[in-house]
Structure formats: structure tokens, C-alpha cells
Amino acid sequence: MFQEANATAYDLKLALPNSRYFLLCEWLDMKPISTVATSIEEVIVLRKAKRLPANVRAQFSTVAGRIATRDAFERHLAENPLSSEAFQRFLSPVKRLLMSDQDEDAILRRGWF
């Protein structure tokens, strides 16, 4: 999936050179690599945790398996909640872009732009 996201980011940056591409993922399910040589600015892991292993996820393929592993899955979700810090990391650049169009009075009240 990372390679597909990188290819998409590359294509978008050809059309929109000043665009920024962030990859948001719920779980980390690959070995972290540097994004410096890619068209992706940053990968943000929203739960700050690894994805359940494939052998555990395979149990979810049947109703009986989902019922049997429900408690463990709910515990995994509860132990790894979505991180407000991760969302803030993504939203900060967006907020800066949106605030850049404020009028002069607002900038003077705030004291920066």
C-alpha cells in the first residue's frame, strides 16, 4: 500500500507541485522507512501501535472466529485509542494554510501571521 500511496503522491505532485501528501494510517503494518526519497511528506500512525498480526486477523474471517476473538480485539482497540496528538500533527499544517488568509486586523490582534 505504501508504494501505491507514493505513486499517487508523485502523480499529484506533477499536477500540483506545491501540494503536500500525508499518509494517515490507523495501524503501523510495515517497517518504518524514511519518506525523504518519496513524494510523501509524512506517515502518521493514528493509533501509535502495530496492526494485529496476520495469523490473528485470519481468525476474523469467519463469524465463529470473530465471536471467539471479540474480547481480545476490543481490548486491543481500548489499549490503543486514536491519538489526538496524531490528528493534531496532521491538522497543524492545514490550520496554518487556512489562517494565512485572515485580514490585517485579525493578524494585528493575534500578533503573528
CA angle 76, 40, 2 (to 5 degrees): 50
33, part of any domain: yes
pLDDT in tens, 48-71: 999 999 999 999 999 999 999 999
Residues 63 and 27 in one domain: no
Is residue 100's pLDDT more than 70? no
Q: Give the three cell numbers for residue 50.
A: 502495530
CA angle 25, 69, 82 (to 5 degrees): 25
Domain encompassing residue 74: 53-85
pLDDT in tens, 80-92: 999 999 999 999 9
Question: Is 37 in a helix, a strand, or coil?
Answer: coil
Residues 16 and 4 in one domain: yes
Domains contained in the chain, number? 2
Residues 9 and 31 in one domain: yes
